Amino acid sequence: MAEVSPLGNPPLPPPRLERGIVGWVRANLFATRFSGALTVASTLVFGAAAIFGINWMLFNADWSVIATLGGQMVIGQYNTEAACPGQNCFWRPQASLLMVTGILGMAWGVAGGGLPKRIGIGVAVVLAAFALLPYSFERMGMDVRLLLAANIPALGIGWAVARYTPLGTSPRIALSAVVVFAVTLLLLRGIPGIPGLQPVSVLNWGGLTLNLLLAVGGIAFSFPIGIALALGRRSHLPVVKLLCVVFIEVFRGVPLITLLFMSQVLVPLAFPENFPQNSLFRAAIIITLFSSAYMAENIRGGLQALHPGQAEAARALGLPSWQTTLLISLPQAIRNVIPAIVGQFIALFKDTSLVYIIGMLDVVEISRAFIQGNPEYLVSTKELFLFLGLVFWVFTYGMSYVSRRVEENMGVGRR
């Protein structure tokens, strides 16, 4: 039915100046005199800055330092003669990467498209593109290139496995991801006595691989520990509550770098002399505990915001208290604080750069050490750290993008 105004005439279209590009410019750039002045001023300032920046990036900056560091940024000192004597160990992290791509392929296969598909294809294509880097064959062998290019078939294999085998359900993929993480650790560490898998000390792990491993491990463990701490802090049992409060407040009150430093000097004393331990393992535990203290506070926020009627209704329906917590309170609480939780994941990933304090060569520290050891590259430091910033940004922004999509899919704010 056509719209009819009370007078019987069809309604007039909106004025020309409120529609189209002209209308958009008027509304968003020149709405008021002040806004117009802001537009002119900011165009001049940021335009000049953008021209300067692009000019510098294309013509003045010397990006060769990044090519020189190359694979060291990814795996640190892992493939050096000292860490991996008499053999090429580069294939081990690459094999782990193939497994990760395979998992992404499985996720795509189960979801049948959408976000997993886009992420999987993006990751596989970017990795395969690395195979075409213009290095000489002495620096980047054919084996390395082929293993990188194999990420695209790995994606496909993962997809097919999810489609045509019983592995293709979400819980089984989650289980496979855990298995892949464990296999990755085993592969990087090596198994004594097996040729080609000679042990590599964890202290030689490094580069972005180390940051990612610490982040994945930290996220996987700090989430359940954080939930337990949050529930403990809200518990009405005084002893449990006290323990959780003390733990959370101590870990939140002291900087991570101080805790890491302490883990190097004080924690070894707290165990008997022959207790098996190493500095990376201690650091990983400290990072996880630190993160779980923050995670606990985020989840507690979500639990507090929950209407008490939810739990009361569950109890009225006869659910025991553990089911009320696990099936009613926690899912809603976590859904409400997804941005805060993902923010904590991002913070944890950023914090992995602090392992320099225990002498590990993560991607930031190996870059800094390289500059320090090669003063001729001192002038390229800003290019190097700008690049590092971008590398971290790609991962962290990716995480916040995924979290926003997950929130949309869960219908946060609509239900």
Partner 1 sequence: MKLPNLTYKGVPVWRHAQVLQWTAQIVSGILVVVLVTWFFANIANAIHDRNIPFGFGFLSREYQTPIGWHLLPYESSDTFLYAFLVAVTNTLFVSLVGVVLATLLGTFIGVARLSGNWIVSKVALVYIEFFRNVPLLVQLFFWFYIVLALPPVREGYVLVDRLYLNNAGLSIPWLAVSSAGSALVWIGLVIAAIVAGLLVHRWLVLREIRIGSAPDPLLVGAATFFVIGAVGWIVIAFSSGTAPFTISIPSPQGAFGRISDGFTMSGGLMALMIGLVMYTASFIAEIVRAGIQSVSRGQIEAARALGLSNARTLRQVTLPQAMKVIIPPLISQFLNLTKNSSLAGAIGFSDLTNVAKTMTQTAPAVSIFLLIMAAYLAMSLTYSLIGNLYNRRINVGRR
User: Per CB under 8 A, does 400 bind partner 1?
Assistant: yes
User: Of 104-112, 186-194, 266-274, 278-286, which part binds partner 1 (CB under 8 A)?
Assistant: 266-274
Residue 236: CB minimum distance to partner 1, A? 9
Q: 29 or 225: whose CB is closer to partner 1?
A: 29
- For residues 202 and 210, give the distance between their C-alpha atoms in angstroms, rounded to a whole number: 10
Residues 11-40 that bind partner 1 (CB under 8 A): 28-29, 31-32, 35, 38-39
Q: 332 or 400: whose CB is closer to partner 1?
A: 400
CB atoms within 10 A of CB 95: 16
First and final C-alpha spacing in the chain? 33
What token pair was written down for 365?
């520290």
Q: Which of 266, 305, 313, 317 binds partner 1 (CB under 8 A)?
A: 266
User: Of 53-61, 110-118, 134-142, 379-387, which part binds partner 1 (CB under 8 A)?
Assistant: 379-387
Alpha helices, DSSP H, located in 165-237: 170-189, 207-234
Per-position x/- string for 351-370, each x denoting binding to partner 1 as judged by CB under 8 A, each - no binding? x-xx-x-------x---x--
What token pair was written down for 61?
């900056």
User: Per CB under 8 A, does 386 bind partner 1?
Assistant: yes
Residue 394: CB minimum distance to partner 1, A? 9
Closest-CA residue to 366 (of 114, 70, 10): 70
- For residues 391 and 389, give the distance between their C-alpha atoms in angstroms, rounded to a whole number: 5
User: Of 76-84, 186-194, 271-279, 402-410, which part binds partner 1 (CB under 8 A)?
Assistant: 271-279
User: Of 108-116, 132-140, 263-271, 311-319, which part binds partner 1 (CB under 8 A)?
Assistant: 263-271
User: Per CB under 8 A, does 199 bind partner 1?
Assistant: no
User: Of 162-170, 198-206, 265-273, 281-289, which part binds partner 1 (CB under 8 A)?
Assistant: 265-273
Taking a C-beta distance cutoff of 8 angstroms, is the pair 212, 399 a contact?
no
Taking each helix axis from N to C terminus, what angle separates 363-373 and 207-234, rounded to the nearest 10 degrees?
140
Distances (CA, A) of 368 to 376, 385, 392: 13, 9, 16
- For residues 357 and 312, give the distance between their C-alpha atoms in angstroms, rounded to a whole number: 49
Taking a C-beta distance cutoff of 8 angstroms, is the pair 148, 131 a contact?
yes
- For residues 328 and 321, give the distance between their C-alpha atoms in angstroms, rounded to a whole number: 10
Query: What residues make contact with partner 1 under the rule CB under 8 A?
Result: 28-29, 31-32, 35, 38-39, 42-43, 46, 237-240, 243, 250, 252-258, 261-262, 265-266, 269-273, 346, 350-351, 353-354, 356, 364, 368, 378-379, 381-382, 385-386, 388-389, 392-393, 396-397, 400
